[in-house]
C-alpha cells in the first residue's frame, strides 16, 4: 500500500515537474498551500522543518508527501510518508523538490539556516556612547591620532590645506 501511494505521488510529481509545478507558492515561501503541489526547494519553498495538521478535513485520501532529488529528468524519492494526523517533515537544503498530496497547509516551523543575527537582535543592543567615548579618548593631545583627530574635530584641516599638500584631491 505504501509503495503504491509513493509511486502515485512520484508519478504526480513527474507530471508537475514537466508542467512547471501544480501548486502555488511564492518564492522562498514559509507556507505550502493545502492540496496537491510540487515545489522546488530553495526556489518555491525554503528548506527547514514544516508541519501540517494532516489530511484535508473531509478529504477522501491521506496526506502524502515526498522529498525528491532530480536526476536525469527523473525524480528519485529521498523520503516519503503518509498519514491522516499531524505530520512534521524536515526538508533539506540539498533536496530538489517537495511534493504534497491531500494535506492541509504546511507551515515552516524552523528554517534550516537562520542568520546568526535575528531580525530584532540589533534593536537596542548597540551602545553608541561606548563607541563615542572610545573615539573621544583617542583624540587626546600628544598622540599622532589625537593630533589629527583634534584637528579634524576643531576644523583646522580644511580642503585648501589638503589641496596644497602632498595629498591632492
Are 32 and 40 spatial neighbours (Cβ–Cβ below 8 Å)?
no
Report long-range pairs for 44-47 (Cβ below 8 Å, ≥24 apart).
45/91, 45/98, 45/108, 46/108, 46/111, 46/112, 47/91, 47/92, 47/93, 47/95, 47/111, 47/112, 47/113
Strands 87-91 and 48-52: antiparallel
Question: In the prediction, which pLDDT does 99 show?
Answer: 96
pLDDT tens sequence for the chain (169 residues): 544 444 454 444 444 444 344 444 445 678 888 889 999 999 999 999 999 999 998 878 899 999 999 987 788 999 999 999 999 999 999 999 999 999 999 999 988 876 534 444 444 444 434 444 443 344 344 444 444 344 434 444 344 434 444 444 4
- Residues recorded for the chain: 169
Question: What phi, psi does 147 have (nearest 5°)?
Answer: -65, -45
Question: In the prediction, which pLDDT does 46 show?
Answer: 93
Phi-psi region of 137 (alpha: psi -120 to 50; beta: other; left: phi over 0): alpha
Helices (H), the chain: 2-19, 128-137, 144-154, 159-164
Question: In the prediction, which pLDDT does 27 show?
Answer: 53
**Residue ranges of the domains in the chain?**
44-106
Nearest Cα to Cα of residue 36 among 58, 53, 61:
61
Question: In the prediction, which pLDDT does 28 show?
Answer: 66
Are 95 and 69 spatial neighbours (Cβ–Cβ below 8 Å)?
yes
Q: How far apart are CA 118 and CA 26, in angstroms?
A: 22
Amino acid at each position: 500500500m505504501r509503495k503504491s501511494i509513493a509511486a502515485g505521488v512520484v508519478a504526480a510529481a513527474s507530471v508537475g515537474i514537466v508542467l512547471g509545478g501544480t501548486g502555488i507558492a511564492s518564492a522562498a515561501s514559509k507556507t505550502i498551500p493545502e492540496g496537491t503541489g510540487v515545489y522546488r526547494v530553495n526556489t518555491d519553498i525554503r528548506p527547514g522543518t514544516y508541519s501540517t495538521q494532516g489530511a484535508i478535513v473531509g478529504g477522501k485520501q491521506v496526506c502524502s508527501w515526498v522529498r525528491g532529488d532530480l536526476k536525469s529528468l527523473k525524480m528519485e524519492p529521498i523520503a516519503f510518508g503518509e498519514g491522516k494526523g499531524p505530520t512534521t517533515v524536515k526538508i533539506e537544503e540539498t533536496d530538489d523538490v517537495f511534493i504534497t498530496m491531500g494535506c492541509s497547509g504546511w507551515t515552516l516551523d524552523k528554517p534550516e539556516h537562520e542568520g546568526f543575527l535575528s531580525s530584532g537582535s540589533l534593536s537596542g543592543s548597540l551602545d553608541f556612547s561606548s563607541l563615542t567615548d572610545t573615539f573621544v579618548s583617542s583624540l587626546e593631545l600628544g598622540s599622532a591620532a589625537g593630533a589629527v583627530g583634534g584637528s579634524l574635530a576643531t576644523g583646522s584641516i580644511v580642503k585648501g590645506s589638503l589641496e596644497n599638500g602632498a595629498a591632492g584631491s
